[in-house]
Amino acid sequence: MSAMAKMTDRRRGRTQIVNLDQIMTDQQIKEEKWTLTTLSAAVNTKENCMLWLARRRLIKNSAYCTTCHQSAYLNAYAEGTDGFRWACRSCHFRRTIRDNSFFARSHIPIVHLLLLIYCWSHDMPIFNISHETKISTEYAMNYCNTCREECEKYIYRHRLSEIGGLGEDGEPIIVDINESKNFKRKYVTRESRWVFGGIERHSRKCFLVEIPNNTVASLTEAIKKHILPGTHIVSHRNSLCAYISDINNGTYSHSEVKMDNFTDPKYDVVHAINVEKMWMRAKRFLEKQFGTTTVQFSTCLNEFIFRNSIKKEHIFGTVLVAIAEDYVV
Ligand SMILES: [Zn+2]
């Protein structure tokens, strides 16, 4: 920028936080690599934090006066938590930079909330999240639940809990299904719940859903809802076999395996172990989340789907995208 342009810019003030070509795509946001140290350094001042958020569409990049409909100007506002705010020069219009954003309903400095999202993405215990972000445990728990809700909405928007169908080669995708009744809310009640799940071979996609019981009717309903037509379903229960081929006039093909049948050459032992591992992970995760918090069971199941479907190093970025999609600023 020339010296003259700089002077003009200073006199006129800014009507946008960053230039439009600096705004990032979903893919760029998802694939960024951060650590707690690099993130803290990137948002070390109120201005840097604001620039960081605007580039990722987490706050408005520009604002319009609601009275005269002209562009509002970005003013330094030292008295405010965020250091800046939008203002109209002709009217009395004033707006916080977090207007309409995910951060709008809180008065906590945005940098602390951002670090909370990062720590939650990495599945830190609530005590550590509270310590790293200087947010009280109770408030941190509430905000973590808000993060969970955003991920849940992301799952529905992107249909992450509908799996299988036909692959790019036109061949049926194989989905292993299983059900279990070992999920209990520890220390609170002895109730246990039926969970039905499926996992795609050769991908990370899976679904987990609570079912009222393990009758054929309940399982059939869950299969229709979560497994796309054309899928080859592999079940571990003989009694269900006969029914799967009947669903929707034979929309699924089907085979059955026994977990101790490792000598069968048709059987993919490595995959069987992966399926077992996913169930073990799900059980541990649900025992921890559902067993020790007040989070709803269905939300816990969806959090697991989210964490299991997305590469670990992309979770933070995907949570940011989930928020940006839900709060269009
Ligand atoms: Zn105005």
pLDDT of 7 > 50? The answer is: no
- pLDDT for res 296: 84
* Ligand 1 centroid, distance to 71 Cα (angstroms): 8
Per-residue confidence band for 8, with pLDDT thresholds at 50, 70 and 90: very low
pLDDT of 119 > 90? The answer is: yes
pLDDT of 221 > 70? The answer is: yes
* Ligand 1 centroid, distance to 66 Cα (angstroms): 7
* Ligand 1 centroid, distance to 141 Cα (angstroms): 39
The tokens of 184 are what?
Answer: 């209990």
* Ligand 1 centroid, distance to 72 Cα (angstroms): 7
* Ligand 1 centroid, distance to 44 Cα (angstroms): 32
* Ligand 1 centroid, distance to 204 Cα (angstroms): 51
In this prediction, residues 217-227 reach a mean pLDDT of 92
Q: Are 182 and 164 in contact (CB under 8 A)?
A: no
Q: Which residue has 């020790």 as its token pair? A: 292
* Ligand 1 centroid, distance to 65 Cα (angstroms): 4
* Ligand 1 centroid, distance to 94 Cα (angstroms): 9
Q: Are 304 and 286 in contact (CB under 8 A)?
A: yes
Backbone angles phi and psi of 119, in degrees to 5: -65, -40
Per-residue confidence band for 32, with pLDDT thresholds at 50, 70 and 90: very high
Task: List residues bridging with 206 in a β-sheet.
Answer: 199
Query: Which long-range contacts link 321-325 to residues 24+ away (Cβ below 8 Å)?
Result: 321/26, 321/29, 321/30, 321/154, 322/150, 322/151, 322/153, 322/154, 323/58, 323/102, 323/117, 323/150, 324/26, 324/29, 324/56, 324/57, 324/58, 325/26, 325/154, 325/157
pLDDT of 260 > 60? The answer is: no
Q: Indicate the average pLDDT of the chain.
A: 88
Residue 11 or residue 222, greater confidence: 222
pTM: 0.88
Mapped onto helix, strand or coil, the DSSP state of residue 164 is strand
Half-sphere exposure of 9 (CA within 13 A, CB side): 10
* Ligand 1 centroid, distance to 329 Cα (angstroms): 19
Cα 92 → chain centroid: 38
Q: What string of DSSP letters covers 65-123?
A: -TTT-PBPEEEEETTSTTEEEEE-SSS--EEETTTTSTTTT--S-HHHHHHHHHHHHTT
Q: Are 284 and 112 in contact (CB under 8 A)?
A: no
* Ligand 1 centroid, distance to 323 Cα (angstroms): 29
Residue 255 or residue 231, greater confidence: 231
Mapped onto helix, strand or coil, the DSSP state of residue 234 is strand
Amino acid, res. 264: D
* Ligand 1 centroid, distance to 312 Cα (angstroms): 45
* Ligand 1 centroid, distance to 37 Cα (angstroms): 41
Angular region, 250: left φ>0, alpha ψ -120 to 50, beta rest: left
In this prediction, residues 215-240 reach a mean pLDDT of 87
Per-residue confidence band for 290, with pLDDT thresholds at 50, 70 and 90: confident
Q: Using one digit for the tens of pLDDT, what is the confidence trace for 33-53?
A: 999 999 999 999 999 999 999
In this prediction, residues 188-206 reach a mean pLDDT of 80
* Ligand 1 centroid, distance to 14 Cα (angstroms): 15
Q: Using one digit for the tens of pLDDT, what is the confidence trace for 127-139?
A: 999 999 999 999 9
Residue 262 or residue 166, greater confidence: 166
Angular region, 163: left φ>0, alpha ψ -120 to 50, beta rest: beta
- pLDDT for res 182: 64
Question: Which of 35-49, 66-80, 147-161, 211-225 comes out lowest in average pLDDT?
Answer: 211-225
Q: Name which of 199, 122, 214 is nearest 161 in CA terms.
A: 199
* Ligand 1 centroid, distance to 63 Cα (angstroms): 11
* Ligand 1 centroid, distance to 67 Cα (angstroms): 5
